[in-house]
Amino acid sequence: MNITILKLSAAILICLLTTVYTPAQELLTLPLCKQKALEHNQTLKVALSDLQSSEYAVKLSKRAYLPSFDFSSTYTYLNDPNQMVMPGYELPTIDGLPSGVYSPGGVTDLAYNNSYSAQLGVSLPIYMGGKLHHAQKLSFISHQLASDNVDLTKSDLLLDVEQKYWGLVALQEQKNVLEKSILLLKDVLKEVNNRYETGIVTKNEVLKTQVELNNAELALIELSNNIELAKMSLNQVIGHGILSSIEIQDSIMIISDDLSSVDFNVEQLAMRPEVKMLNSQVELSKTQKKMVNADYMPQLVSFANYVAQNPNHYAKQENELTFNAGASLSIPVFHWGEKRLKKHQQKMAIQKAEYNLDQNLEFITLEIRQAVFRLKESLIKLEFTQTSLAQAEENLKLETNRLMEGITTTRELLNAQVQWQQSHADYINAKTDVKINEAVYYKSIGQLTI
């Protein structure tokens, strides 16, 4: 009795230890996978950094209108400053004759041993030919470009997550079907063995059934490996360790009834981040052309300074502060046709941006129409596979009953089982195609979200 209790206690302890050290599987949903991918993806982080940088650029462009304050100072020490020696001479009279009066010579310093200058100044742009306004507009456009690039990066990433996620769901459903098929084949093999032992069927029927079972078990091993690889791929995109143990919540893919009504609408083009970026690029080129005009307009800047210096030839006494103010006007006069050439250069840049916009609008229109067609085709295919699956299930039931009644062969039942398994696989693949094509469609119209 004591030995039995010890064995039972040891078994319970082993179970507890196994439970403690077995890593828990994380249950993942599609929205959770998308959220994790958005938090982990390095390309998206780079795009977000560019967006933040553009926000600082916008703030800087606004501050260009404000006055700027600057302080500058210099100090110079001369150990032996240059001196000018003035020799003495006899002063002349009015008539130019010697007067007998002698003027003594002297030494004059041409520089100071210590000289310094300190200046506090303020400057304010009054008129810059519209340059500050256009520079601010460029910063706003660049910020919009960075924001649209973030949206584009997100949509690409979310589509990748959807494809990997639904691919894993499909593999798991295929595995469930294959496991049911193996159970069925084992029952068939058991029944065929019983019939062989009673002499109703030949050894060949047993071997045929065993071969089908072996093939199904081999397919299960391959499918299990594919599931592990799919999990690794999903772990990589959501930022988990490659070998992390995860579990997908979805096991049955539900298809929305609203998908059959999808269609192309020209207004959908405006939702694409790529179209927004191309429009911004056109506007950016036009603004850069205006900047060229502003560079050759008159520029007026006002300034004021407080100055302390030694020597100070403008002060009445030593160490006295002096104040000055004024305005600076710069007018471009002649630059050998530079303005005209730059304007032509920017005109070509505008045309290039417009050509890119027109070309990509055609490509994106084609992409949306293809996404609509493929989604509708996958829905039709799903209906067909549903019908085929129902027929295959009914046929399998019929052949199973007929085998039990002894009015059919093992080969007929095996064929029905293969048809049932293939119909299930086609049905699962059709559902997967619908879910992936749905994601592709929503990405094509710029509405793929978490």
Chain segment 182-220, per-residue pLDDT in tens:
999 999 999 889 988 988 888 998 999 999 999 999 999
- Assess contact for 346 and 289: CB atoms under 8 A: yes
Residue 373, in any domain of the structure: yes
Cα-Cα-Cα-Cα dihedral sign, residues 313, 316, 317, 323: negative
Nearest to 447 by CA among 271, 277, 258: 271
Q: What is the mean pLDDT of residues 430-444?
A: 95
Tokens of 229: 């690889």
Percentage of the residues of the chain whose pLDDT score is greater than 90: 67
Structural domain boundaries enclosing 153: 23-72+128-300+337-444
- Backbone dihedral region of 408: left (phi > 0), alpha (psi from -120 to 50 degrees) or beta? beta
Q: What is the pTM of this model?
A: 0.83
Note the pLDDT of residue 179: 95
pLDDT band at 4 (very low <50, low <70, confident <90, very high): very low
Chain segment 254-296, per-residue pLDDT in tens:
777 778 788 888 899 999 999 999 999 999 999 999 999 999 9
pLDDT band at 6 (very low <50, low <70, confident <90, very high): very low
Q: What is the mean pLDDT of residues 112-134?
A: 89
Residue 118, in any domain of the structure: no
**pLDDT over 90 (residue 312):** no
Mean of all residue pLDDT scores within the chain: 87
Nearest to 180 by CA among 423, 429, 417, 432: 417
Nearest to 351 by CA among 258, 413, 290, 282: 282
Note the pLDDT of residue 13: 41
pLDDT band at 1 (very low <50, low <70, confident <90, very high): very low
**pLDDT over 60 (residue 27):** yes
Note the pLDDT of residue 259: 83
Chain segment 142-174, per-residue pLDDT in tens:
999 999 999 999 999 999 999 999 999 999 999
| Cα separation values, 225 from 43, 168, 211, 231, Å | 30, 12, 21, 10
Note the pLDDT of residue 15: 42
Note the pLDDT of residue 316: 64
Note the pLDDT of residue 91: 72
For residue 35, the domain's CATH number is 1.20.1600.10
Residue 329, in any domain of the structure: no
**pLDDT over 60 (residue 252):** yes
Domain total for the chain? 1
Q: What is the mean pLDDT of residues 323-340?
A: 92
Q: What is the mean pLDDT of residues 323-339?
A: 92
Note the pLDDT of residue 54: 97
Residue 108, in any domain of the structure: no
Residue 87, in any domain of the structure: no
Q: Is 322 helix (H, G, I), strand (E, B) or coil?
A: strand
**Residue with the two structure tokens 């303020």:** 122
Higher pLDDT, 400 or 55: 55
Q: DSSP assignment, residue 111?
A: S
Cα-Cα-Cα-Cα dihedral sign, residues 298, 299, 302, 305: negative
